[in-house]
Amino acid sequence: MKNIIITLFILFNIANAYEEDELYPTINGCKLEPKTSCPKVDLSNQNLSNLDLKESNFEGANFEGAILDGTDLTKSILKKANFKNAKLRHTILKQSNMSNTNLENANLAMADLRHTNIKVTKATNANFDGVNAWAIFAQGGTFDNSSFHGANLNFARMNGASMKNCDLQAVNLEAAWMNKVDFEGSDLSNADLQESKLSDSSFYKAILTGARIHYANFNSVYMQDCVDCPVDW
């Protein structure tokens, strides 16, 4: 009987260890669990979808080509990380530090970017369709040729960003700080620009058809060849 109890105890511990490994896998020495610390780890081309990685440290990590759909990275340190070609659809990134990251050609459709810091980020040819980026910090970022169709950028801080040739149709930019932003060639049809601060920005060859511009500040804005810009503002 004693031997049977010992055997069952060992099997129980093995099963628990296996279950924990399944729940929190380890890749390249990094245990993928909440509050993990794996700076500069290489997780490129890995399937990391639907993991709980809240409050983790991935500074300088390589996520190129990785799948992080539905993963929770709330309040994580992700600065200088490489997300080129990564999939971050429905990923929770709220209140995370993503400054100086590479989001080139990344897919962040429907991601949660509320109060996230993505200052000086390179995000060309990226997909931000439908993201919730309330009060995002994105000053000095490069978002050329990216899509923000239907995105919520209410109260966003994006001064000095480059947003050339972007799809900004139906985007919510109400009360956003967008001073000195380059919107050259971008489509802002049906966008909400109410109370947004746009001083010294460029809308060269941009489209504002149907945009809501009540109380927006267009002081010293460049509007040459812009469609439906308030040239008499």
pLDDT of residue 22: 64
Q: Residues near 38 by Cβ (< 8 Å), separated by ≥ 6?
A: 29, 30, 31, 56, 57, 58, 61
- Asked if residue 7 has pLDDT above 80, the reply is no
Q: 16-29, pLDDT tens digit by residue?
A: 444 445 689 999 99
Q: Which residue, among 45, 72, 73, 69, has the nearest Cα to 59 in the 3D structure?
A: 73
**pLDDT-derived band of residue 233, with 50, 70 and 90 as boundaries?**
confident
- Asked if residue 5 has pLDDT above 90, the reply is no
**pLDDT-derived band of residue 232, with 50, 70 and 90 as boundaries?**
confident
Kindly report the pTM of this predicted structure.
0.90
pLDDT of residue 76: 98
pLDDT of residue 23: 84
pLDDT above 70: percentage of residues in the chain: 91
Average pLDDT value over all residues in the chain = 93
Average pLDDT in the 98-119 region? Answer: 98
- Asked if residue 12 has pLDDT above 80, the reply is no
Average pLDDT in the 164-184 region? Answer: 98
